[in-house]
Structure 1
């Protein structure tokens, strides 16, 4: 049974611990015919003004770009063999601001949350690399599930309802 929480702060520690442990997320988008497409990626997350914000350093592939142009809603799913899980329903938007991309580059280097992230320099030359693209991920629903008893907690951004 899922319990609703009124502030993200009520699940923030569990959210960070699970994502830092699991690291890889399945990102699902939807094509123009309503068919889902999944891929495994490593987004990073921070909390700003009490709300989670995600960032995804990625390639702007034709499929991903077309899906997001048609429908910016995405889902990110994390799962561990211990049955701990995090699901995030988000709205994704491309970010072209070089200062934001530099900050995201640094967040990946630090690991946000700790344990997640990686050295983007392994894939792109610098934050100014024209092949590096960044998506801002604005969650409107976050669910964390503890595997030991399948306790579930859900936070919703009520302003996005």
Structure 2
């Protein structure tokens, strides 16, 4: 059974629990011919003014960059063998390299691990917030779904 919720707050705890336990998300984009491409990454999430907001620290790659330039819509999927699932449909937008305040926020958010358990020290891969190899994407969700595995109860929030 699927239920639509009015407020992200109604599913936030379940979402945070699943993401914090699963950590790795499959990110799917589409190419210019509409074919999907998936890769496994670790985004972090927060709630801003009652709305979910996400961030992705990643390396710039020609394929991912081309896909998002053509179509910024993406999906992040989380899954456990117990069938607990979380899916986030979002629009991805690159954060300019000179937006040091946003890049510092993301650096700190990964360090704090948001939700708990989901982040990691970005210094494992990048020298700092101004590292030219660090690409930061702002993720603006328009749909979030959580599915509880034991009874397949599904709840969906839409912006």
**TM-score range normalised by the length of the shorter chain:** over 0.9
Q: CA deviation at 1:99?
A: 1.1
The Cα RMSD (Å) is: 0.5
Structure 1 gaps of 5+ residues are none
Determine whether 1:92 maps to 2:92.
yes
TM-score, normalising length: structure 1: 0.96
The separation in 2 between residues aligned to 1:49 and 1:156, in whole angstroms, is 15
Query: What is the number of equivalent residue pairs in this alignment?
Result: 157
Determine whether 1:33 maps to 2:33.
yes
Q: 4+ residue stretches of structure 1 with deviation over 3 A? A: none
Structure 2 gaps of 5+ residues are none
The separation in 1 between residues aligned to 2:87 and 2:120, in whole angstroms, is 21
Q: CA deviation at 1:60?
A: 1.2
TM-score, normalising length: structure 2: 0.98
From 144, 147, 150, the equivalent of 2:149 is 147
Determine whether 1:112 maps to 2:114.
yes
SS of 2:53's equivalent in the other structure is strand
The separation in 2 between residues aligned to 1:81 and 1:51, in whole angstroms, is 28
The separation in 1 between residues aligned to 2:80 and 2:138, in whole angstroms, is 25
After TM superposition, the structure 1 stretch with the greater mean CA deviation from structure 2, 37-46 or 96-105, is: 96-105
